[in-house]
Structure 1
Amino acid sequence: MSLGYRCARAGMKTVILEREDRPGGAFHSHTHDGSGEGFWLELGAHTCYNSYGNLLSMIEGCGIQDQLQPRAKVPFKMIREDRLKSIPSCINFSELLLSVPRLFRLRKEGQSVASYYGPIVGRKNFKTLFSHLFNSVLSQETGDFPADMLFKKRSRRKDVLKSFTFRRGLQSLAGAATSQKGLEVRFGEGVSVLRKEGRDFRVLLREGREVRSPSVALAVPASTAASLLDETLPDLAGELHCIKTVRIESLGVVVEKKDLSLPPFAGAVAAEDSFYSIVSRDTVPHHRYRGFTFHFKPGRLDREGKVRRACELLGLTENQLVDVVEKENLLPALRVGHKEWVRRIDEKLRETSLYLTGNYFSGVAIEDCVSRSFSEFDRLKQDRS
């Protein structure tokens, strides 16, 4: 989406082949239309920040900055014995006070989340609380994830809301970005084969049609990119096969506000459960509905089991759910040393007219993905000059 946006804005004829029936990838704002009131909830990415400089440039370029929606200040919670607890109440402060001075001696570079944060918060705190907090951020086990790729310090725009979404959800940005002049989006177009023939790439679609272009960009999971490149660029494909992916099974539910006794909360972190976290729509209050997205661990529960677990935690019956929707997402499971892997990938890409973007380069945050796309656009522009 973001790479196509930059190409179209630069006057390049651009076609996006989108397998789904909507743009945006991890931007998936599901709208409950049962009442015609347009209530939505996020099934993927859910928050933007004023430190997302490249993303903000897209928002301003699309002219939709007036659609920014502030997020209500409601707390994050921890789930203990199926009840919502405050996060501070779960911290062993004696251990934390003894451990936190290590923060000034340890360096993130070359460390995993466990090896870096464990000594800083204390081993017991890390095991019982902080490991689950980190897991909830990425919806995967994060102990081996690179510490310097989890939270990044970025400069902030003080003229923009610190954290925000859009009045109709993050999908609004995807719609605006893919509506640029010169950008054609073909929905339901899955790619089956990618071949290099002469100076052009030949893209074979699953329906039997084909597209030819001198330049191709892949904005797909690393595993999908690897499979498409096995024949054409086997060395590059081999590197891409090294990136493991994890599946997140998300279940979104919409309920009547009057039926729920739980106080408003932004999200909840699970420990030793079938899911990693709950993301709540309470950050954008609605007069009638509340919505919650449960990010389940893969293969643990079927749909019926997920719905039952959601009802247990919300204190509702299945008949009280006015809408239920499922979504699967893939995320990269990055490991220490990943920056060296990126260096090797970029070296192999340098002499090609292939461009790779996604959440498996500099990090999984929205801004990391947009920044990678902008970087690849710069390379494409230079290659064409």
Structure 2
Amino acid sequence: MTSSTTHGFDSRAVHAGQHPDATTGAVIPPVHFSSTYVQDGIGNLREGYEYGRSGNPTRTALERQLAAIEGAEFGLSFASGLAAEDALLRALLAPGDEVLIGNDAYGGSYRLIARLLGPWGVRVRVADLSDPAAVAAALQQSTPRLVWVETPSNPLLRITDIAALSRAAHEAGALLVVDNTFASPALQQPIALGADVVVHSATKYLGGHSDVVGGALVTSSAAIYEKAKFLQFAAGAVSGPLDAWLTTRGIKTLGIRMQRHSENAGRIAQFLDEDARVATVYYPGLAHHPGHAIATAQMSGFGGIVSLEVGSSRHARHVAESTRLFTLAESLGGVESLVNYPDEMTHASVRGTELAVPDTIVRLSVGIESIDDLLEDLDRALG
């Protein structure tokens, strides 16, 4: 069914890649668990399928859906977000190449580049990619092969002007990769703003229910797609059929979920911003946020992540361990609200680096529960 970019986002999310079953007419396509496929003569494949690692109809449906919701030509689905990043990096980099990454990036992305690809000869530099002057200085110092940015970033919610960064990267001869996990394609479309590749942890908002681990890579470049697809096949970090189907099901409600996540997060950010027990609130929907104007221009909503800073690490740990409705756990983007202490949880791997997160920060993944219950929970935990 339709994946046309002339249709609205929600229509693409529901219908792209979702062809009713030709045999039974089932509206929801079946999940294909087969690991191998009959051949009508040697090398004569039915619809191109031969073996589960090289292709699976359920994964194909998800990959078409991923491309459609990002407004791109090609999508690839992986076993995790880091598997998607690894395939992209190995497809595009060679020993001696350099990656310029934001100084507020996910710790796992930095670890992958610095510690896994570093011994292979890949260099990594860090800069504040939300600051045009810092970007210009970094690109003048040397030319990276890739510029890698998260916007909003994790966990300090810095906002980067994607269109401006794309122009700067391309003028320097670099490719721009945007991690769109926090915003999701429901709120932000980096390909339309000039990005060459978009990556996702599909575990987060795309899946949306904390019941699947997955990753995605989206591009409109046939050359990048073919290189990454070869790595997907050759290295084999593919999403399984059930994981692909769960992600597809999650994407169908992504638009309405992101509306509720954004509404709840906005209310919570305002509440925290007015609370004397909180030193700083990081949320691009607040008018005083440094990236508010850019976020307003390039996003259709401000997302479901709110970070707050309190006066001490002891207080931050107390808040994270005292909530009842907000569950203390890794990850984000599910329908249930989560609380995280980045310094010892999601960002422990970047302690002592330029990406280290202050130990006074608490990150909230705001779910879709009743807002009054969430506010009451935070008010009590802060006390």
| TM-score, scaled to structure 1 | 0.25
Higher relative contact order (CA 8 A, sep 6+): 1
TM-score, normalized by length of structure 2?
A: 0.25
* Structure of higher CA gyration radius: 1
In proportion to residue count, which structure has more strand?
1
